[in-house]
Amino acid sequence: MQSHASALVLEDNKHMRFLLTQLLQNLEVARIDAVGSTSDARAHLECLSYDFALVDVGLSGESGLDFLRALRLTPDHPARRMPVIIVSGQNQMGVIKSARDAGADAFLTKPISEAMLARGVRQVLETPRRYIETDTYFGPDRRRRDDPGYDGPERRKSDDWYI
């Protein structure tokens, strides 16, 4: 793991926030700021930069996906391209697709192990996907691989996709 990395944790449950912080410390993340609300997260992002963020879906008040969507769709936001790993206690395909469509770089299902978190963090830091922008979406390219054998017009129409 990159021992100089910095992370923002947005989780409203104080026990889960503590656990995620501990796991990141075990991965030798150098700076970890953990907050319990989207307003606190926004305040941190106004004055600090992070290498990545862990954002819970089920926050009280504004959801983690609404927070991410607003971040991605604000053209001049300094953290617009910050990798975001969504964490959720739900792993239904609808939740995963919603995270993908909001602009998530990765998705982890609770309970989260240290190995699972390490893979997710390594993925977003060491092999980031390029970001794309359309009229309704800004975020990482949803395709994990480029198939040079495919020359059809609608490469992104398939629902066979996982974040």
Q: What is the pLDDT of residues 58-92, one digit of tens each?
A: 888 899 999 999 999 999 999 999 999 999 998 88
Asked if residue 117 has pLDDT above 70, the reply is yes
121-156 pLDDT, tens per residue? 999 999 998 999 988 899 998 765 556 666 666 655
**99 vs 2, residue with greater confidence:** 99
Q: Calculate what percentage of the chain has a pLDDT beyond 70.
A: 85
What is the CATH superfamily name and number for domain 6-140?
Response regulator (3.40.50.2300)
Angle at 152 between CA 134 and CA 146, to 5 degrees: 70
- DSSP letters for 145-162: S--TT---S-TT------
The CB-side HSE value for 95 (13 A sphere, CA atoms) comes to 15
Give yes or no for a contact between 142 and 107, defined as CB atoms under 8 angstroms apart: no
